[in-house]
C-alpha cells in the first residue's frame, strides 16, 4: 500500500482508538477549509479525513492492517470508498449524530388541571357529605367531535413539510455543511393543516361549558385538604384527554365549636351556684343534645370530655372527642336580698375576710392546665 494512514495522523500502528480520535481532532481543526488557507490544505484535510475513516472503524482497520485499503476505489467492496460522511465528523466532535426527524407532533394534547375551592361546614367535615359543584371548563366540541374540522371535511397533509412536521435546512459551519431540523412553520409541527376549521370551536376541537360534578366529601377533611377528581378537568386541544379537578377544602368557622385536629372544643358558661351545688346541663353538639353531669364543687377551667363526639378520622375509623371547658360565672348586680344571703354564706364559711394565698403549682387551675396541655 502506498498510503500510510498511521503516518498521516501521526500515530503509531498500535495506537488506541482514543489516540486516533485525538490526533484527528487536532489535525481537522488545523486543516479545515474554513480555517486553513494555505496551498494544499484542502487536499491534506481530505487525506486526514480518509485516514480517520479507515482507522476509526475496527473492521476497516483490520482490513488495512491485512494489506487492503478500504478507502481506495474498489478496495473494500460495496460501501467502501464512499468518502468520509458528515455523521462521522459530527460524532467525532460532539459524540452523537445529528438529531433525526421525530415526526409530526400529535394535535390532541392533554387538558390542564383545575383547582376549585370548596367551602364546607363543620358538620360536613365531621361526617362527610355529598355535594354538587359547578365548574366552567372545556369540553369536546359537540359539532366536530374534537376533529377541529367543519363536519364533512378532514385535515390535509401539510404541503411544506410533506406531513413530517419538521423541515430540514443546510447551514455552513467550521465543519462544513450542517443539516438542521426545525418544526414546520406552516403546520406548527402537526404535519397536517385544517383547511376548513369548525365554526363552533374555531378549529380548537373544544368549547367552554359549565358542568355539574358530584363530589363525595370524606369525613375528616379540613382547611387545605385537596380532593382529586380524576379526568374531570378540561378537555385538551383537538379533543385530547381531560385533566383532573382538585378541590381545595376551606372549612367555615362554627359559631360555638372550635376544631383542633379531630377534636372539638367549646366553652360552657355555668352559674356559680350550679358549679357549687352540681347540676345536669344540656349541651347542643353536632350529634344533637347531650347531657353533662356537673359534680358539686366544679371549678372554673375544668374540662368535661365527651368521647366520640368530635370529627371523623380522615384515615381510619372512629372520631375525635368533644372537650367542654367549664366557665364559672360570678354573679354581678346583686340586689339587697341576694347580697344578704351571700354575706350569711360567707360568715358560715368563715370567708368574711379571707386571707389571699398563692395556689400550689401542683394542684388547682395550673395543674389542670398543665395536665390538659400535656395530654394534647
Is residue 97 scored above 50 in pLDDT?
no
Cα separation of the two ends of the chain: 92
Question: CB of 199 within 8 A of CB of 143?
Answer: yes
Q: Which residues fall within 8 angstroms of residue 363, CB to CB, at 6 or more apart?
A: none
* Residues 23, 17: Cα–Cα separation, whole Å: 10
* Residues 34, 27: Cα–Cα separation, whole Å: 13
* Stretch among 118-127, 178-187, 328-337, 358-367 having the lowest mean pLDDT: 358-367
Segment holding 172, helix H or strand E:
strand 166-173
The sign of the CA dihedral 90, 92, 93, 99 is positive
Is residue 47 scored above 60 in pLDDT?
yes
Tally of helices (H runs) and strands (E runs) in the chain: 9, 15
Is residue 302 scored above 80 in pLDDT?
yes
Segment holding 139, helix H or strand E:
strand 129-140
pLDDT tens readout for residues 168-187: 877 666 556 677 778 888 89
Q: Which residues fall within 8 angstroms of residue 42, CB to CB, at 6 or more apart?
A: 31, 33, 36
Locate cell 389571699: which residue?
Answer: 356
Give the chain's mean pLDDT.
Answer: 84
pLDDT tens readout for residues 109-167: 999 999 999 999 999 999 999 999 999 999 999 999 999 999 999 999 998 888 898 88
3-state per-residue secondary structure call for 233-255? CCCEHHHECCCCEEEEEEECCCC
* Residues 205, 39: Cα–Cα separation, whole Å: 63
**How much is the pLDDT for 45?**
82
Strand runs labelled E in 273-365: 279-285, 288-294, 303-306, 322-329
> Within 10 A of 41 (CB to CB), how many other CB atoms are there?
15
**How much is the pLDDT for 89?**
46
* Residues 250, 123: Cα–Cα separation, whole Å: 13
* Residues 214, 233: Cα–Cα separation, whole Å: 13
Architecture of domain 5-94: Orthogonal Bundle (1.10)
Is residue 102 scored above 80 in pLDDT?
no
What percentage of the chain has pLDDT greater than the value 70? Answer: 81
> 258-374 has which CATH code?
2.60.260.20
Is residue 344 scored above 70 in pLDDT?
yes
- Selected residue with higher pLDDT from 307 and 176: 307
Question: CB of 95 within 8 A of CB of 101?
Answer: no
Q: Which of 279, 273, 299, 302 is nearest to 369 (CA)?
A: 302
Q: Which residues fall within 8 angstroms of residue 70, CB to CB, at 6 or more apart?
A: 54, 57, 60, 63, 64, 76, 80, 81
Q: Which residues fall within 8 angstroms of residue 368, CB to CB, at 6 or more apart?
A: 299, 301, 302, 303
SS3 at position 119: strand
Tell me if the pTM is above 0.85.
no
Name the residue ranges covered by the structural domains of the chain. 5-94, 101-137+205-253, 258-374
CA angle 316, 257, 326 (to 5 degrees): 110
> Within 10 A of 227 (CB to CB), how many other CB atoms are there?
17
Class of domain 101-137+205-253: mainly beta
Q: Which residues fall within 8 angstroms of residue 369, CB to CB, at 6 or more apart?
A: 301
* Residues 307, 310: Cα–Cα separation, whole Å: 8
Amino acid at each position: 500500500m502506498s498510503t500510510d494512514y498511521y503516518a498521516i495522523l501521526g500515530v503509531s500502528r498500535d495506537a488506541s482508538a482514543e489516540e486516533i480520535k485525538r490526533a484527528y481532532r487536532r489535525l481537522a481543526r488545523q486543516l479545515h477549509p474554513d480555517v486553513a488557507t494555505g496551498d494544499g490544505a484542502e487536499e491534506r484535510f481530505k487525506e486526514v479525513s480518509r485516514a480517520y475513516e479507515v482507522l476509526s472503524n475496527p473492521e476497516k482497520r483490520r482490513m488495512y492492517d491485512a494489506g487492503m485499503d478500504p478507502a481506495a476505489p474498489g478496495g473494500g467492496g460495496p460501501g467502501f470508498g464512499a468518502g468520509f460522511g458528515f455523521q462521522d465528523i459530527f460524532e467525532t466532535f460532539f459524540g452523537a449524530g445529528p438529531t433525526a426527524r421525530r415526526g409530526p407532533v400529535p394535535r390532541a394534547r392533554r387538558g390542564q388541571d383545575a383547582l376549585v375551592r370548596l367551602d364546607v361546614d363543620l358538620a360536613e367535615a365531621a361526617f362527610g357529605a355529598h355535594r354538587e359543584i359547578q365548574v366552567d371548563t372545556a369540553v369536546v366540541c359537540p359539532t366536530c367531535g374534537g376533529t377541529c374540522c367543519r363536519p364533512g371535511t378532514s385535515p390535509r397533509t401539510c404541503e411544506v413539510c410533506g406531513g413530517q412536521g419538521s423541515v430540514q435546512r443546510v447551514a455552513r459551519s467550521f465543519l462544513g455543511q450542517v443539516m438542521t431540523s426545525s418544526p414546520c412553520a406552516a403546520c406548527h409541527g402537526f404535519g397536517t393543516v385544517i383547511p376548513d376549521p369548525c365554526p363552533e370551536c374555531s378549529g380548537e376541537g373544544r368549547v367552554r361549558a359549565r358542568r355539574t360534578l358530584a363530589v363525595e366529601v370524606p369525613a375528616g377533611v379540613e382547611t387545605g385538604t385537596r380532593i382529586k377528581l380524576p379526568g374531570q378537568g378540561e378537555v385538551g386541544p383537538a379533543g385530547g384527554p381531560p385533566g383532573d379537578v382538585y378541590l381545595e377544602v376551606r372549612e367555615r368557622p362554627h359559631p360555638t365549636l372550635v376544631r383542633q385536629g379531630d377534636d372539638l372544643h367549646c366553652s360552657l358558661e355555668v352559674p356559680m351556684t350550679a358549679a357549687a351545688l352540681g347540676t345536669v346541663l344540656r349541651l347542643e353538639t353536632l350529634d344533637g343534645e347531650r347531657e353533662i353531669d356537673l359534680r358539686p364543687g366544679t371549678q372554673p377551667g375544668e374540662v368535661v370530655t365527651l368521647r366520640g363526639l368530635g370529627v371523623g378520622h380522615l384515615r381510619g375509623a372512629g372520631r375525635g372527642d368533644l372537650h367542654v371547658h367549664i366557665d364559672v360565672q360570678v354573679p354581678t348586680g346583686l340586689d339587697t336580698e341576694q347580697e344578704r344571703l351571700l354575706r350569711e354564706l360567707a360568715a358560715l364559711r368563715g370567708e368574711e375576710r379571707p386571707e389571699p394565698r398563692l395556689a400550689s403549682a401542683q394542684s388547682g387551675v395550673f395543674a389542670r392546665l398543665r395536665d390538659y396541655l400535656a395530654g394534647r
